[in-house]
Amino acid sequence: MTISAAQESACDHIVANAESLSQWTSLIFNFGETAWREYQSAAWYVDVLRRYGFTVEQGSAGMPTAFYAEWNNGNGPAIGMYAEYDAVPGNCQAAVPYRAPRDGLGYSAGGHTDPHSGLGMAGLGALLATQAAMKKHNIAGTLRFTGEPAEKVRGSKPVHAARGYYDGLAAMLSFHPFYMLPMCNTVRWDTHCGAACSMIYRFICDEPEAWLQSSNNAPIPQSHSAVRAPGANDALMMMYMSSKALRDSMLPHSGGWSVSESIISAGQATADNLPAQLTELQYMIRTPTIGMSQQLAAALDRNAQAAADMTGCRWEKHWVSKSRHGLANHAIASTVWESMQAIGAPQWGRQAIQIAQQIQENLNLPPMAEPFLEACEKLIDPQQAEAQLRRDLPAWQLNSTSDDYTDMTWHAPTARFYIARPALRSPEGYQYPSWVMNALGGIPQTIDPMVQTAAKVLAISALRLLQDKTAREQAMGEFVQRTGGGVGGDQWLAPLCDYEPPINFSWPEYTKTSRGYDWCIPSALCS
Phi/psi for 251 (5° steps) reads -110, 135
**Least confident range of 58-72, 188-202, 236-250, 455-469:** 236-250
User: Is residue 139 a contact partner of residue 466, using CB atoms and an 8 Å limit?
Assistant: yes
Mean pLDDT within 121-141:
98
DSSP letter for each residue of 431-469: ---HHHHHHHTTSHHHHHHHHHHHHHHHHHHHHHHHH-H
Amino acid at 461: S
pLDDT at 525: 42
The per-residue pLDDT for range 145-204, each reduced to its tens digit, is: 999 999 999 999 999 999 999 999 999 999 999 999 999 999 999 999 999 999 999 999
**Residue 250 has what pLDDT?**
67
Confidence check: pLDDT of 107 > 70: yes
Q: Which pLDDT belongs to residue 262?
A: 84
What mean pLDDT do residues 104-108 have? 88
The candidate with the shortest Cα–Cα distance to 331, out of 518, 137, 469, 131, is: 469
DSSP strand E in 324-447: where? 414-419
pLDDT tens digits, 266-325 = 555 555 667 788 899 999 999 998 998 898 899 999 999 999 999 999 999 999 999 999
- Residue 261: pLDDT band with limits 50, 70, 90: confident
Give me the pLDDT at residue 229, please.
Answer: 82
CB count within 10 Å of CB 219 equals: 6
pTM value is 0.93
Check: CB of residue 186 under 8 Å from CB of residue 385: yes
- Return all residues near 73 (Cβ < 8 A) that are at least 6 apart: 131, 134, 135, 139, 140, 141, 142
Residue 428 DSSP SS3: coil
Task: Say what the pLDDT of residue 486 is.
Answer: 94
pLDDT at residue 499, as a whole number:
95
**Residues 203-239: pLDDT tens digits?**
998 888 777 765 555 555 555 556 678 889 899 999 9
Q: H/E element holding 287?
A: strand 278-287
Three-class secondary structure of residue 511 per DSSP: strand
Residue 68, beta-bridge partner list: 57, 146
Summarize pLDDT for 348-399 with one digit per residue, the tens. Answer: 999 999 999 999 999 999 999 999 999 999 999 999 999 999 998 989 999 9
What percent of the chain shows pLDDT beyond 70?
93
| pLDDT at residue 523 in the model | 45
* Whole-angstrom distance, CA of residue 405 vs CA of residue 399: 13
Task: Supply the mean pLDDT for the chain.
Answer: 92
Could you give the domains of the chain? 5-194+325-483 (3.40.630.10), 196-322 (3.30.70.360)
Arithmetic mean of pLDDT, 250-264: 73
Dihedral sign for Cα atoms in the order 206, 210, 215, 221? positive
Give the pLDDT mean for 435-460.
Answer: 98
